[in-house]
């Protein structure tokens, strides 16, 4: 069985119903996405979106405008990526043309909610580790 974004929203909401440290919200739009805000990780926003059988779990590492050593950061990211088994690093441009460095993972819509939740938690932990380690490259 394959999960729709609304299924993911409903199941995550249920899962964190009794947890004040986790806020789950459906972000409406052209195509809806799910936002999970984690207090434990400094209110980090994790976005879950899907298309076809593909699920993307993503969070912003740092806006490109706050990077002071672009070449240094890019090289560090390229070196980190192969030895970081859980999440990928990349640059995306959002709907308003704002460039962000992002950390993301992919799953199939056939993955269960446990796998999706695991990915969210792992991504958050990884991202905070990464931003702390890469802090010297930022403003």
Partner 1 sequence: MSIFGKLVTLFRGTAHEAGEKIVDAKALTILDQEIRDAATQLDRSKVDLARLMGQSKLSENEIGARDRKIAEYSRYIEGALAKGDEALALQVAEKMAPLETEQNAARESKGHLDQSIATLRATVSKTESRLKQMRAQVDQVKATDTVQRAQAAIAARHSGTNSKMSSALGSLERIKARQAQQGAQMLAAEELETDAGDGDLNRKLAAAGLLEDSSSAAAVLARFKQPRQLPQQSAGLLPGTVPVADGDVLVGVITPRDSHN
Give contact residues for partner 1 (rule: CB under 8 A): 27, 29-33, 35, 41-45, 47, 49-56, 58-63, 66, 92-100, 102-104, 106, 127-128, 130-132, 135, 138
Strands 54-63 and 33-38: unpaired
CA dihedral sign, ordered 124, 126, 128, 134: negative
Of 37 and 118, the one with the shorter C-beta distance to partner 1 is 37
Q: What is the side-by-side order of every strand in the sheet holding 99-108?
A: 22-27, 33-38, 44-51, 54-63, 99-108, 88-93
C-beta of 25: minimal distance to partner 1 in Å?
Answer: 9
Q: Which CB sits closer to partner 1, 52 or 82?
A: 52
Q: How far is the CB of 61 from partner 1 (least distance, A)?
A: 5
- Residue 7 CB, nearest approach to partner 1 (Å): 15
The torsion angles phi and psi of 51, rounded to 5 degrees, stand at -150, 130
For residue 66, give both structure tokens. Answer: 């706050």
Q: Which of 50, 64, 137, 132 is nearest to 94 (CA)?
A: 64
Of 25 and 118, which has the nearer Cβ to partner 1?
Answer: 25
For residues 97 and 116, what is the distance between their CA atoms, to the nearest angstrom?
28
Smaller CB separation from partner 1, 42 or 72: 42
Q: How far is the CB of 18 from partner 1 (least distance, A)?
A: 22
């Amino acid at each position: 069985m394959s999960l729709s974004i609304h299924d993911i929203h409903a199941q995550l909401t249920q899962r964190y119903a009794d947890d004040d440290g986790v806020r789950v919200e459906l972000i409406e739009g052209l195509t809806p996405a799910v936002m999970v805000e984690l207090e434990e990780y400094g209110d980090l926003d994790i976005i879950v979106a899907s298309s076809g059988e593909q699920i993307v779990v993503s969070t912003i590492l740092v806006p490109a405008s706050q990077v002071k050593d672009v070449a240094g950061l890019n090289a560090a990211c390229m070196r980190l990526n192969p030895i970081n088994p859980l999440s990928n690093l990349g640059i995306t441009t959002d709907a308003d043309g704002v460039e962000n460095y992002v950390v993301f993972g992919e799953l199939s819509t056939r993955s269960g909610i446990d796998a999706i939740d695991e990915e969210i938690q792992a991504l958050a932990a990884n991202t905070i580790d990464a931003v702390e380690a890469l802090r010297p490259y930022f403003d």
